Amino acid sequence: MDNLTHSLTGLMMSRVGLGRTTERGGTLMMILAANTPDIDVLAAGFPGSLRYIEVHRGYTHSLLMAPVMALLPLLLARWISKASINWWSYLACLLGVLSHLALDLTNVYGIRLLLPFSSRWPRLDITDIVDPWILLIFILAMAAPALAKLVSSEIGASKTTRTREAWAWFAIVALLSYEGFRLAAHQRALAVMGAHLYGGVITPRITATPDRINPLRWRGIVETEDFVLTVNLLLTEDYNPAFGHVDYPTQSSAAIDAARATEPFRVFEKFNQLPFWRVSAAGDNILVELIDLRFGTPRQPGLFTATATLTPDDRVLESRFGFLR
């Protein structure tokens, strides 16, 4: 998720009581804890770069490192705000770090949760990296206590605190309910798509990626050995795969073998969860493309694309990672 969402999650966690585990700087401590795993961006560089996808959401996002990550916000809050250090504040920071991992797990980018034992990228595919509905929940929980104070001049400091706490609990419950609804809608989308046959293929690989605005709208991706079908799905309407678009990947070639030996393709292949290979002519040369279907389509590859230009005898002239068109 985006860091604004993580920060607001930490703020709500502080307001429900976790910030009171230290005498001073509790809110700062929880906001830092909810963002700490993203410290890897200091080594990852520019978002969307090859180095970024190689490093980001790695060891700092693993369950094994979570107890270590929880120490950083505690020490920073101690240094900045003179926060007290105790076991309760450490456990609060650990919960903040785990909230970060949980939110990152929900979106299509994935997270290397099991490092160093596994380099797989588990993901739930139920939310976009930036979800406006989650942000709206948090904005409401922040604005409501301030509006209530303006309406009633009789609200005292203690009552204001209780109001903030109540709205923070509302935000957390609403967030969990929303994620649960998204998860159920995602499972329904997969079930609807899985009930069809695609060119006689009984068990294709089926993926549903979320729409940023409408929780009932999904982009379906059906992969078989011969083709990829991309189709929009709205759970309130009948599903018809005939309205989708079929693309045919290049299965194998000497050009692909040469391209994947280069650094951009080597790194990108480890990150790519829904690979689509395409080999085409580029004037007198050969163009090899590797697309991640989570973030684009063969017609609109988007940012997450590796490309290589080769000579007719499969010698690589150029290889790069980034936006294609």
| Peptide bond before residue 249 is cis, with ω within 30 degrees of 0 | no
Q: Read off the pLDDT of each residue in 220-243 and give the average, rounded to a whole number.
A: 94
Q: Is the pLDDT of residue 289 over 80?
A: yes
Separation in Å, CA 192 to CA 41, 89, 223: 38, 46, 15
Q: What is the pLDDT of residues 121-138, one digit of tens each?
A: 999 999 999 999 999 999
Mean pLDDT estimate for the chain: 92
pLDDT of residue 82: 85
Spatial distance between the Cα atoms of 111 and 130, rounded to a whole number of angstroms: 16
Separation in Å, CA 149 to CA 13, 57, 154, 168, 282: 21, 40, 8, 16, 65
DSSP string, 51-106: HHHHHTTSGGGSTTTHHHHTHHHHHHHHHHH-----HHHHHHHHHHHHHHHHHHHT
User: Model-level pTM?
Assistant: 0.92
Separation in Å, CA 275 to CA 155, 251, 264, 291: 57, 11, 14, 6
Contact 184, 198 (CB under 8 A): no
Closest-CA residue to 93 (of 3, 143, 25): 25
Q: What is the pLDDT of residues 42-89, one digit of tens each?
A: 998 888 789 999 999 999 999 999 999 999 999 999 899 888 889 999
pLDDT of residue 324: 47
pLDDT of residue 290: 97
Report the residue count for the chain.
Answer: 325
Residues forming beta bridges with residue 222, ordered by sequence position: 206, 229
Q: What is the largest CA-CA distance in the chain?
A: 82
Q: Is the pLDDT of residue 293 over 80?
A: yes
Q: Is the pLDDT of residue 149 over 80?
A: no
> Would you give the distance in Å from CA 109 to the centre of its chain?
4
